[in-house]
Amino acid sequence: MTIERKIREHLHKEAETMECHPAISKRIEQSYSQYLQQKRSKITMKKRLIGGIVVAAILIPTAAFAGPALIEMLSRTPMTAEQVKVDEVGKATLEKLYSAFPETKSFEIIDASYLGDPTNSTNMKTIQQSIVLQEKGGTGKKFTIHTNGITGEIEDLTQENWEPKEKPLITLTNQEIRAKVDYLIDKMYGNIEEYEVAMEQMENPNQKTFILNYTKKGTEGEGYQVFVHGNTISLSPLDPTPVNIKVEGLFSLNGKPDYTADNFLNDEKLFSLLKISPTELKQELAKGKSVVEIAASRNVSKQQVIDVIAKTQVESQFKAEQNGVTISDRLMEQMLKEVEPKVLKVIEHKTETEW
């Protein structure tokens, strides 16, 4: 049995014992698909605090197992439909959806929330806003949209039940499925002709599942990643391959590169703190040392290492510097506290050791 199959089966067993928000479930599936893509191409994850489903299972406590991204683990503030309609970010998101799919104008907003510090309104915007709209009647078509409150970009969206129940999306031909995804991207983001697409079926004995990776021509990884299963299309835009990756496969497992911690440890501030180059760090880790041990040998404390990596992760996740918007001290403190245990797992890990 392949490791991917083992991971998938373990995930299903864990999922049966907990209730999980649809947005978080989608994050798991997308992160898993990115893990597969990374394993094949040796490209570090994009727009993810925690690399893949392997990292989600290891770095996150069991109670929060279903949320691989930091943004999904933070407390959110509920919003009413009326609040969404008068909010700047909410209005813009709805207008974009209504323009792309006019029939959604009659849909009900059945759930909405935002991430931010409700006690601080000075120079502070919503970090992320989530809206769920459903066709009246409670069992029809549905859209779930997550919008970046700073940039206004729709970061993730899920389209559900847009095909008849008797012939759900996954029963269509590959060409028909791709046409549905093409249409969704073109309507919500535009310029579908600029992208090349690779479509593959995942190894999933329980449910027919496809991953479609759209890459903008002439770029290094910019595009969209789409997860199709049942009667659902889940889509996330992807940025180009991060330029911060200096060394890949900092750890190894069974004699092969392990990319799990690359996104955490490729940190210029960490290199500066340890007075070490990326290549030297990889060489030291290959000797069986942990980052904590390497730091101690250079008179750097564990907490200093945690602080540097955690801050980089939080800032990169939310791009807080954009448009002059700053994260309040209270929200920053909350996010740092949430990510610290995950950082600790990485810096205490040793190469050739199971996570």
Q: How many domains does the chain have?
A: 1
Q: What is the pTM (predicted TM-score) of this model? A: 0.61
Per-residue pLDDT for 242 more than 70?
no
Question: Residue 326 belongs to what domain range?
Answer: 244-355
**Of the ranges 74-88, 121-135, 261-275, 313-327, which is most confident?**
261-275
10 lies in some domain? no
68 lies in some domain? no
Count of CA atoms in the C-beta half-sphere (13 A) of 241: 14
Q: Which of 290, 341, 336, 331 minimizes the C-alpha distance to 314?
A: 336
163 lies in some domain? no
181 lies in some domain? no
Q: Which residue has tokens 């197992």?
A: 65
Give CA–CA dist 282/301, Å, rounded: 19
What are all long-range contacts of 159-165, with beta carbons under 8 Å and residues at least 24 apart? 159/184, 159/232, 159/233, 159/235, 160/231, 160/232, 160/233, 161/135, 161/231, 161/232, 162/231, 162/233, 163/231, 165/231
User: SS3 for 162?
Assistant: coil
355 lies in some domain? yes
Give CA–CA dist 95/99, Å, rounded: 6
Residue 82 has what DSSP assignment?
Answer: H
Q: Give 123-160 pLDDT, tens digit per residue.
A: 445 778 999 999 988 678 999 999 988 788 898 999 99
CB–CB of 310/59 below 8 Å? no
Q: Give 189-233 pLDDT, tens digit per residue.
A: 988 899 999 999 887 666 788 999 999 888 877 899 999 999 999
Quick one: 34 exposed, middle or buried, by C-beta within 10 A (0-12, 13-18, 19+)? buried
317 lies in some domain? yes
